[in-house]
Amino acid sequence: MSTEDKKTRAQLLKQLREQYRDTVDRTQALLKEHNAVRKEIFKAMGDEPRTVPEIAELSGVSSHEVLWHITALKKYDLVAEVGMDGEYYQYQKVKGGAS
């Protein structure tokens, strides 16, 4: 990529960021909020297997929101199902995953 192409690309990206500033700001705020919730979930999980209701109680996050995040964390191999506790699946952080 030539220097001129790089300058043109940089200008275009700057225009797009300015044009969609509100969308970018909302997206960044949502990402920050999700990261905070996931941090609370990981803190509640500790190193022990936990069920969604246990995580919700320990973290103060609603059960349906915990389940939503656990599903996403499972998708990216950051948590795993490790057993059952009654009718609930137990989840645990994957070693080497985020904390």
CATH number of the domain residue 67 falls in: 1.10.10.10
Residue 58 counted as domain residue? yes
Residue 9 counted as domain residue? yes
pTM above 0.85, yes or no: no
Residue 17's domain comprises: 3-93
Residue 7 counted as domain residue? yes
What pLDDT, on the 0 to 100 scale, is given for residue 99?
53
What pLDDT, on the 0 to 100 scale, is given for residue 95?
83
47 close to 93: Cβ distance less than 8 angstroms: yes
Q: How many domains does the chain have?
A: 1
| 3-class state of residue 51 by DSSP | strand
Helices (H), the chain: 3-19, 21-45, 52-59, 63-75
pLDDT tens for 24-83 read 899 999 999 999 999 999 999 999 999 999 999 999 999 999 999 999 999 999 999 999
C-alpha to C-alpha distance for 72 and 89, rounded to whole angstroms: 15
Mean pLDDT computed over 71-98: 92
